[in-house]
Every structure is written in structure tokens, then in C-alpha cells.
Amino acid sequence: MRIGIDVGGTNTDAVLMDGMVVIGTTKTPTTANVTDGITAALKTLVSSSDLDVSRLDGVMIGTTHFTNAVVERKHLQATACIRLGLPATACLPPLVDWPEELATTLGNHCYLAHGGHEFDGREISPFDSAEVSAIAKEIGRQGIKAVAISSVFSPVNAMFEEKAAEVVKSVIPDASITLSSTIGRIGLLERENAAVMNACLRKLATHTITGFKAALAAMDITAPFFISQNDGTLMNADFAANYPVLTFASGPTNSMRGAAFLSGLKNAIVIDVGGTTTDIGVLQHGFPRVAAMAVSIGGVRTNFRMPDTLSIGLGGGSIIQSQPLRVGPQSVGYELSSRARVFGGTTLTATDIAVAAGHAEVGDALRLVGLEPEVITAVEQRIAEMVNEAVDRMKTSAAAVPVIIVGGGSILIHHAIEGAAEMVKPQHYAVANAIGAAIAQVGGETDRVFSLAEMSREGALEQAKREASERAVAAGANPDTVDIVEVEEVPLAYLPGNATRIMVKAVGDLRGG
Amino acid sequence: MGIAEIGGANSMGPLIAGLQAGVPTVDGDGMGRAFPELQMTSYMFHDGVTVTPLAMVDAGESSAVIPRTAGALWAERLARNLATSMGATAGLAGFVMSGAQLKAYGIPYTLSLAKRLGERVLRARSAGEDVPAVIASSLHGQLLLRGKITDLFRRTTRGFARGGLVIEGFGRKPKRLDIEFQNEFLIATLGKRVLASVPDLICIVTEESGEPVTTEVLRYGTRVAVLGVPAAAALKTPRALAVVGPRAFGYQIDFQALPNRSVIGVKTAANLGQGSP
């Protein structure tokens, strides 16, 4: 049995699952310190399902808490960044393109030192431990306890980052250190940015994870607990305390994985209709298709792999204008229950239209008397067009695909979507996020450059797969269940020696059930 | 200071070097687009200018000077090897010429064109305009297709990333565009019909925001708009086509220029976006 919890911006959702069956669900407002909301959700779930907590195999938590901290510039620790790569890279120091107030919040402590590697593993310059030691002493003098270390092409060779960490540790024994090679992919600035963001969140992460542990202990829950990663897999609590940045985008990913589970479909389009926007994503083999371009978090450029979603301005609260006809993008948002006409307000919203058309029973339909049938029809048609067009954009083949519809605003969609082989509105869709967290497996990823002139393609793939699998096991996977779920090879332009970038994702079941 | 290639970082480097050296940078370049090799610059389509003497530096302390080669193609080969040894990236300066030669053989006003295009795109984004359409009209180009990438293949040949992609249009009867690339996009065909080829520019941008999509970030499913933009006139002379035309890249077809008059290299680009092609 497992409990999945999704701590969202507005609500904390929780589900109790016995194998593949949903036993109970609950939704409570998210609290400022997140822990209270989790405790409330757990209490409701346990009592309403009459659960004997000793039967729990695990508690899985997905949260946007750390993303929000970066976006809101709150609870972030003063952080120093050391980059190894001189004499190269000096023209663009660490944090060079960060929004000024965020860089200032972290203290703008950036240091460049010698080291780094070329794409083929050659050193750019030798590692100089005296140089790093002097930098560490300067950092220590300023009382900074969070340090991020990046080195050019560290995914190819992480040795200098590891050596620098040893030096920093000897000078500042209680520093928390993040190595860019452990969390990031090829792309110096993006990887370094991820490392710095991770470092500044370490204190918050430790505090938050401790809070989660306390919440569980207060309920006598001794089952292990896990945190959702951005790719829909889990990491155990201690790993998560060290790598909070890996939780970014876990929400949308869990939502899609939950939709996949509830519908029994591994390949489908997922439409999540919210209050203001509708997000459309694509499920491939049970995981969201990822976006190609760099992703900005709080204004900082990163290369985290995020689900590829198309967002359109259509939601339950979308404001309707009849002359000329417009549906959204303005929305009453969370004020739906006071501003929509069915709820006594004066704004005509998409929800009102759905009720007037007889597709939903919320509020008081009598308040819609006088709404012209032509308006209802025209709006419904426009909504159908918006959805059809968006689905068409996301589909990659002309063949019909199943479409899963989730989200509170799904009452808006009842027409047959063009190109949909079937339309599924699964039960419990309102807590798809929490379900996605509950059913997740444990994963590991590797992203490296190999020279195919020095090893065979098979050898490189084997090594990459082995590394990804080892990382999955380190994160808590049962080695016997680890499978490779994704392999991507990109030959690198202009480089000799047949340089190829290989990215592998491995996934396995949680050790111990 | 002159610019060899206006593409990407190569437009900024000379500007910074000029500022550091205390000399003005000429508003113009030698390609009016990006191309992979040194002999593909417009300076080389005339007699009287040589790539050498050529100086190269790396990020460390290494530097090299190549005083002379048997032609531009040889300079490209040697420089490419040196750049690789230097860590796959190196700074390069050469093509020494007189002002009169630069004026006659270069492609003018491309730096200011790039700046104005960027300003136009940023304005279009904040105004919620159709950015790919804005780019196309600003450059007197054509929107060849809007669609999603449905097939993608890559292979390395002779150190270059070659490959192809298929883009399927949106809508009920989607059109299907095949594009081949060798670092740059070379040719776009609709069935058997060639819609655009080198030296004309084939630009792929994201459908939603008009962000450039380069060959390394191509992904299955990405929603894109494909634009065909007329190349500068200097790239379409018989001598130029022998170096940058389709046959030079291995396609056994004659070059068929995109219909509109190019804005690249033309002073009236100052009125970007106004007037009809």
C-alpha cells in the first residue's frame, strides 16, 4: 500500500493506493510551511480509509516547494560558485545572465579557477589545489556555507570537481557542496546554473525533508518516504535533501503519469483543463514527451528536461465575450465560485456555457435563463475548434490517438475531438498528480560525450546504460528490476573522433516494495 | 575590423575585438548568413583577396599564424585541423584586404539588419503577433510550412553532422516537407519539388515564439515554422554558386532562387518590415 501526496501551489492532494487500486483520496489547502498541510491530508486519508499505517510500503511526495522558493526568491541560502576552467570561459563568469535581484539574493559570490576539460577529455589546464584553497578560505571568511562547483565538460570528466570539493570540505567542514556533474547535462552555463540553484536550496531542503519526516513520525508512519523527480521517478528522502533541484517540474510530470495510470494508456494525448489554461501534453511509453528547448526557471536559463506542453488560454473561468465572439484568454481564475453567473456573479464564463448546454450541473442553472442559444452554440463551437487545433499541433502522426482528459475544467470538453481514437475521462482525475507520485518508479540518468573513434558504439552505449542503471540503484531502485527506458544519441557537429552525446534513462521498482 | 560570417556568435566576436583594438567594425559580413567553411565567404568569389595570412588563437596561450596556402580550401582544411586541436573552438582572423575590396566584395549592412530584425521580433513577441510570419515578411521570405517534426535521422560523415528531418503540416490534409542538413539546413523539398536550397536560407524557428531551432536541438514532436529567405545577391553569381550552390553540397540540381528580392546586403533594409517585397 502506498500514499501519494502532491503539494501544489493551492492544494495538497493525497491518495491511498493498494497496488493498482485507489482506496481513498483527499484534497486540503496547502499551508505556508507545507508540513501542516501534509499532516492534515494524511490524517484525513488515514481516518477516512481506516488505515493501519503499519501496512504502508511507502509514502511518495511531489512538491513545487523548491521551484516556488526560486521563483519567489524566498528561503534561499547565500551561495558561492566556483568554476574550474581558466584560462577559458573568463568572458562569461558564473551567474552572468541571472536576474539581478536573484543573483544579489545569493550574494553574487563567483570565483574562477584553473581546470576544466575539453570535449575529448583533455585538460584545459591543470587543477591547482592551492588556488582553490585560497578561494575556499575567502568563502569561509564570509561565512558562506553553500558552495556550487562546476568544471568545463565535467560530464565527460568529473575529477576536478571532486578534487575541488575535497579542498573546500577541508577548509569549510560544514559546507554543503553541489557538483554540477551530479545533476546537470552538457551545456556549461545551464549545468552550472542548476548546480547553483541546487546549492542555494540545500538548507531549505534539509529543513523541509526533516519536516516531512516529522509529519510522518507524528502519524506513526515508519514506511520509507520518497520525493518525486522532474522526470516522474522517485528519489529517497536523503538523496532529495541533497538534490532539491531535481524536484522541479515534478508536478506536471506526475499529473501526466497519473493520467496514464488512471486510463490504462501508455501512449496518448493528455489534456488538463484548469481554471485559466488548458495544458496539452503527450505520453510516450508512459512518460511525458520532453521539450526540446532550454527552460527558464525564475528567469534563470537551465536545461532540465521538462514535459513538452502546449498551453492555450481556455479554462473553466475563461471569460466569454459574445460580440465579437471571444473565449478567454482572460479568466476569473480562482474567483469562479463568486464571479461566474451560475454562482451568482455577473461574468459569463466557460463554466456557465457548459451548464447552460446541459453538460455540467454546478451552481444554479436558473441564473442562465435568457442566455441566447446561438451564443451557447457559438461558444461551444469555438471551444471545440481551440481544442482540436491544439491537439493537432501536439500529435506527431496522422493516426488517431487516444485522448485523456483531466482537470477541474474538463466539463468544457464533450465534443468528439478530431483525431482522437477514443476519449477517456478517468475517475479520480482531480488527484492525478498525487497518483502519479504514488505509482512512480526510481530512476537514474546519464548524459555524456563519447568518442566513437576510441570505443565502439556498442561499447559506449553499454557504458552509458550501466552508468544510468547504477544511478537508479543509488537512488533506491531494486537492481533486479532496472530497465532502460530511453536512449538518445546525438552526433556532435564539427567535432572529430566521431564525438557523440549519449543520454540514457534507466528506471526500476523501489527496493523493498 | 570586418566580420567574416554574420551567423551567431561570429557576429559579436569581431565587434568586441574591434572595440578592444580601438578600431571601428564595418557594418557587413562575407556571407549574409551562416555557412560552415572559410572558402564560402563572398570575399573569396573574386580574385585579389586571400584567406591568408591567417592568425588563430585558443582560450589558453597557443597561437598560430598561417602565412600562405594554395587557395582558400586549403586554408579551411588547415584552420579546421588547428581549431580541433585547440579544443574544438578557436578565434580566427584573416582575409586582409583594402577598404575598396571590402566595399566591392562584402555584403553590407548585415549587422544592422540583424539588430533591427531582433528588435522587430522582440516587439512582435510582446505584442502577441505571429512571430514566424513577422520574420518571414521582414526578410522578404516565405513561410514554407508550419508543422511538427515527425521524423529525424542523423549520421556523422567526414566530421560533419549530416541528417534529415520531416515536418508534417497541421490540419486535415497535412503537407510534408523533407529537409536535409549538414550543420546548416541545405534543401527543402515537398515531394519531388524543391522549395528552397542553398545558398538561399532555410530557417527553422519554434512555432510559438519564433526562437531559432538549430540542428543540435531538433527533436521529434517539436512544433516549428520553416522559412525560406532569399540569400544576398553576392551568393548567386556563377562563381559563388560553384562554391555554395546545391551542386557544391552534393545535390545534382541547378539552383532555383526564391522569388523575392533579398533584403540581405541592401541598404533599404533600414525600412525593415515596411513596403512590399
Which residues share a beta bridge with B154? B163
In whole angstroms, give the CA distance from residue A432 to residue A428. Answer: 7
What percent of chain A shows pLDDT beyond 70? 99
pLDDT number for residue B272: 53
pLDDT number for residue A496: 66
Position B3 in a domain: no
Q: Per-residue pLDDT for A512 more than 70?
A: no
Q: Note whether A495 contacts B159, CB cutoff 8 Å.
A: yes
Q: Which residue has the higher pLDDT, B96 or A510?
A: B96
Domain-terminating residue out of B108, B140, B159:
B108
- The average pLDDT across A144-169 equals 96
Mean pLDDT value across chain B: 91
Element (H, E) at B103: helix B99-105
Q: Note whether A393 contacts B148, CB cutoff 8 Å.
A: yes
Q: Are residues B135 and B260 in the same domain?
A: yes
Rg (CA), chain B: 19
Q: Note whether B216 contacts A396, CB cutoff 8 Å.
A: no
Q: Are residues B67 and B138 in the same domain?
A: no
Which residues share a beta bridge with B185? B181
Q: Note whether A396 contacts B159, CB cutoff 8 Å.
A: no
Q: How many angstroms separate the CA of residue A318 from the nearest CA in chain B?
A: 19
Sign, Cα dihedral of B212, B218, B222, B227: positive
B217 touches chain A (CB under 8 A): yes
Residue pair A428/A262 in contact by the 8 Å Cβ criterion: yes
pLDDT number for residue A493: 62
Type of residue found at A338: S
Position B219 in a domain: yes
For residue A172, how many other CB atoms are within 10 A of its CB?
A: 20
Sequence-distant (6+) residues with CB within 8 A of B263 are: B113, B138, B139, B140, B230, B269, B272
Q: Note whether B223 contacts A118, CB cutoff 8 Å.
A: no
Position B28 in a domain: yes
Q: Which residue has the higher pLDDT, B183 or A247?
A: A247
pLDDT number for residue A250: 86
- The average pLDDT across A463-475 equals 91
Q: Are residues B104 and B149 in the same domain?
A: no
Q: Per-residue pLDDT for A453 more than 90?
A: no
Q: Are residues B88 and B205 in the same domain?
A: no
Q: How many angstroms separate the CA of residue A61 from the nearest CA in chain B?
A: 30
Nearest to A395, CA basis, from A231, A312, A286, A281: A281
B148 touches chain A (CB under 8 A): yes
Q: Note whether A125 contacts B161, CB cutoff 8 Å.
A: no
Q: Are residues B80 and B177 in the same domain?
A: no
Q: Are residues B210 and B96 in the same domain?
A: no
Residue B4 pLDDT class (50, 70, 90 cuts): very high
- Tell how strand A79-86 and strand A2-7 pair up: unpaired
pLDDT number for residue B277: 41
Q: Would you state the cell numbers that stand for residue A3, as one nine-digit string?
A: 500514499
Q: Are residues B51 and B147 in the same domain?
A: no
pLDDT number for residue B157: 58
In whole angstroms, give the CA distance from residue A292 to residue B223. Answer: 10
Q: Note whether A491 contacts B174, CB cutoff 8 Å.
A: no
Report the helix count and the strand count for chain B, using DSSP H and E. 6, 12
Please state whether the peptide bond connecting residue A87 to the residue before it is cis, i.e. omega within 30 degrees of 0. Answer: yes
Q: How many angstroms separate the CA of residue A446 from the nearest CA in chain B?
A: 18
In whole angstroms, give the CA distance from residue A487 to residue A220. Answer: 41
pLDDT number for residue B104: 95
Please state whether the peptide bond connecting residue A329 to the residue before it is cis, i.e. omega within 30 degrees of 0. Answer: yes
Nearest to A85, CA basis, from A190, A139, A164, A140: A164
Position B241 in a domain: yes
Domain-terminating residue out of B84, B108, B132:
B108
- Mutation for B interface: A83, A112, A117, A118, most B CBs within 10 A: A118
Position B76 in a domain: yes
Instruction: Name the residue range of residue B43's domain.
Output: 8-108
pLDDT tens for each residue of A115-141: 999 987 889 999 999 999 999 999 999
Q: Is B1 exposed, middle or buried (0-12, 13-18, 19+ CB in 10 A)?
A: middle
Sign, Cα dihedral of A330, A336, A342, A343: negative
Q: How many angstroms separate the CA of residue B207 from the nearest CA in chain A?
A: 10
For residue B171, how many other CB atoms are within 10 A of its CB?
A: 11
pLDDT tens for each residue of A350-388: 999 999 999 888 889 888 888 899 999 999 999 999 999
In whole angstroms, give the CA distance from residue A469 to residue A167. Answer: 30
Q: Alpha helix (H) ranges present in A451-494? A: 457-474
Q: Note whether B216 contacts A392, CB cutoff 8 Å.
A: no
Q: Are residues B184 and B61 in the same domain?
A: no
Q: Per-residue pLDDT for A423 more than 90?
A: yes
Q: Give the three-state DSSP class for B218.
A: coil
CATH number at residue B186: 2.40.390
pLDDT tens for each residue of B108-163: 999 999 999 999 999 999 898 999 999 999 999 999 999 999 888 877 655 556 78
Cell 536535409 sits on residue: B180
In whole angstroms, give the CA distance from residue B240 to residue B198. Answer: 11
Residue B276 pLDDT class (50, 70, 90 cuts): very low
Position B121 in a domain: yes
Q: How many angstroms separate the CA of residue A244 from the nearest CA in chain B?
A: 27
- The average pLDDT across B84-113 equals 93
Residue of A nearest to B59 (CA): A88
- The average pLDDT across A322-329 equals 89
In whole angstroms, give the CA distance from residue A16 to residue A250. Answer: 19
The CATH classification number of A74-205 equals: 3.40.50
The full length of chain B comes to 277
ipTM of the complex: 0.83
Q: How many domains does the structure of chain B reveal?
A: 2
Q: Note whether A389 contacts B36, CB cutoff 8 Å.
A: no
DSSP-derived secondary structure for A163-199: HHHHHHHHHSTT-EEEEHHHH--S-HHHHHHHHHHHH
pLDDT tens for each residue of B28-53: 999 999 998 999 999 999 999 999 99
Q: Note whether B206 contacts A293, CB cutoff 8 Å.
A: yes
Tell me which DSSP letter residue B259 carries.
S
pLDDT tens for each residue of B181-230: 987 899 999 999 999 999 999 999 998 889 999 877 788 888 999 999 99
Q: Are residues B132 and B226 in the same domain?
A: yes
- Mutation for A interface: B219, B220, B224, most A CBs within 10 A: B219
Q: Are residues B208 and B104 in the same domain?
A: no
Q: Which region holds residue A426: left if phi is over 0, alpha if psi is between -120 and 50, else beta?
A: beta
Q: Are residues B128 and B257 in the same domain?
A: yes
Position B93 in a domain: yes
Of the spans A103-117, A280-294, A387-401, which averages the highest pLDDT?
A: A103-117
Backbone angles phi, psi at A250, to 5 degrees: -70, -30
Q: Are residues B192 and B251 in the same domain?
A: yes
pLDDT tens for each residue of A92-108: 999 999 999 999 999 99
Which residues share a beta bridge with A288? A283
Sequence-distant (6+) residues with CB within 8 A of A1 are: A16, A17, A18, A19, A23, A51, A55, A56, A57
Q: Note whether A293 contacts B216, CB cutoff 8 Å.
A: no
Sequence-distant (6+) residues with CB within 8 A of B73 are: B39
In whole angstroms, give the CA distance from residue A442 to residue A233. Answer: 5
DSSP-derived secondary structure for A301-312: EE----B--EEE
Nearest to A493 among B87, B161, B170 (CB): B161
pLDDT number for residue B160: 58
Domain-terminating residue out of B108, B123, B145:
B108
> A-side interface with B, Cβ within 8 Å?
87-89, 118-119, 122, 124-125, 282, 289-290, 292-293, 308, 310, 389, 392-398, 489-496, 498, 500
Q: Where are the beta strands (DSSP E) in chain B?
A: 28-29, 54-57, 63-66, 91-93, 107-108, 142-157, 160-169, 176-182, 184-190, 193-197, 201-206, 223-229
Q: Per-residue pLDDT for A294 more than 80?
A: no
In whole angstroms, give the CA distance from residue A423 to residue A170. Answer: 60
Q: Is A259 exposed, middle or buried (0-12, 13-18, 19+ CB in 10 A)?
A: buried
Cell 481544442 sits on residue: A387
